[in-house]
Structure 1
Amino acid sequence: MAELHVIGQIVGGSGFPQRRLFCKWGLQAGGAWKLLSGLGSGQTQVDDPQADDVAYWCHPLDVHFATKGLQGWPKLLLQVWHQDALGRSEVLGYGFCHLPATPGWHALTCLTWRPRGSWRERLRRRWLGGGPQLLSPPRFTAAGAGERFRLRTETAGAVHLQLGVLLRRFGRYGVQS
């Protein structure tokens, strides 16, 4: 079987309206893919940036996949959360990015979005916190804009990634890198 190794980190997040951020992440792949080693999901620590608007997490990623086909190439699903002074958490943005399909070192920026909500929900979010959240985040997070057409969304911020990709035995299966 062909193998995919991804080694890197979730560097941090920027452009979010609040401070004290953390990121929940998960991997999603098609039926032909099998996670051989590494974690399929996780969470970073909370960072409260003092000097700028970038929250640094430097959270490691190290996964090893085997596959029988290219369909369902792995995606990294991201949720950026805010933790207030009382320890309450609220989601600030959802995003996803495909793991790079070419070997080498990749610096990626994953843009995030969140449900816009009604004017009352936006007013409540501004003054009290909280706001609309997805009931089943994995389903909609990785969905393209065509599948999210019924949702009214707005941009939320960006998550920065640094990933090293190694491909093994893809040439045997007719895939040129």
Structure 2
Amino acid sequence: MAEVHLIGQIASARGFPDNSLFCKFGIHMGNTWNVISGLTEGQTQVDHCEHEDAAYWSHPIDVHFGSKGLQGWPKIHLQVWHKDQFGRNELYGYGFCHVPSTPGMHTVECPTWSPSGTFWEQISQNFLGGSVQLRHPDLVYSGADRYRLHTVARGTVSLQLGVIFRGFSEFGVEY
């Protein structure tokens, strides 16, 4: 069995309208992949930085995968949330990126977006707060009907990922 070990961190986020941000993440993979050890989902702490336009999390990722094929390569999907002064959580953006397919250290910049919503939903957001959310969050990484969405670009999440391969040469995969 070929193995991929992913070690790194969700480092930071930039370009979002407010501070007090946290990030929920998950790792999605195809049917030929299994998790040998580690957590494939989690959440960072809230970073409230008053004097900078960035949130720093340094949240660790350490997952060990096994696979019998390359199809369904792992993807990291993200949701960036804002915690307001009243303790309410507001979704700021969705994003996803593929786990790098070469061994070594990588810095991955993951752009995020949010659904724009209808005219009335936008007015409601301006006066009451809240945000438009997807009914099926798996659209973020599946791509099935993502082309139908009307979205607004949001900030960028920075990930620092170390990728280690083992046993790929036995399956004829050169890197």
- TM-score using structure 2 length: 0.96
How many residues are matched? 175
Show the counterpart of 1:80: 80
Within 1, Cα distance between the matches of 2:127 and 2:112? 22
Q: How does 1:1-177 map to 2 (within 5 A)?
A: 1-137=1-137, 139-144=138-143, 147-177=145-175
Within 2, Cα distance between the matches of 1:150 and 1:107? 30
Within 2, Cα distance between the matches of 1:39 and 1:131? 28
Within 2, Cα distance between the matches of 1:129 and 1:156? 17
Question: Comparing 127-136 with 106-115, which one deviates more in the overlay?
Answer: 127-136
Deviation at 1:129?
1.4
What amino acid is the match of 2:142?
Answer: A
What SS is found at the alignment partner of 1:17? Answer: coil
Deviation at 1:131?
2.2
Within 1, Cα distance between the matches of 2:75 and 2:116? 24
Deviation at 1:106?
0.2
Deviation at 1:147?
2.8
Within 2, Cα distance between the matches of 1:22 and 1:40? 17
RMSD: 1.1
Within 2, Cα distance between the matches of 1:77 and 1:117? 21
Deviation at 1:124?
2.4
What SS is found at the alignment partner of 2:58? Answer: strand
Within 2, Cα distance between the matches of 1:64 and 1:7? 9
What SS is found at the alignment partner of 2:124? Answer: helix
Within 2, Cα distance between the matches of 1:19 and 1:119? 26
Within 2, Cα distance between the matches of 1:167 and 1:126? 48
Within 2, Cα distance between the matches of 1:157 and 1:124? 22
Deviation at 1:128?
2.4
Within 2, Cα distance between the matches of 1:27 and 1:79? 12
What amino acid is the match of 1:39?
Answer: L
What amino acid is the match of 1:176?
Answer: E
Deviation at 1:18?
1.6
What SS is found at the alignment partner of 1:126? Answer: helix
Within 2, Cα distance between the matches of 1:128 and 1:47? 24
Listed as ranges, the gaps of 5+ residues in structure 1 are none
CA deviation digits over 1:19-46, x for unaligned, max 9? 1100000010000000011101000000
Listed as ranges, the gaps of 5+ residues in structure 2 are none
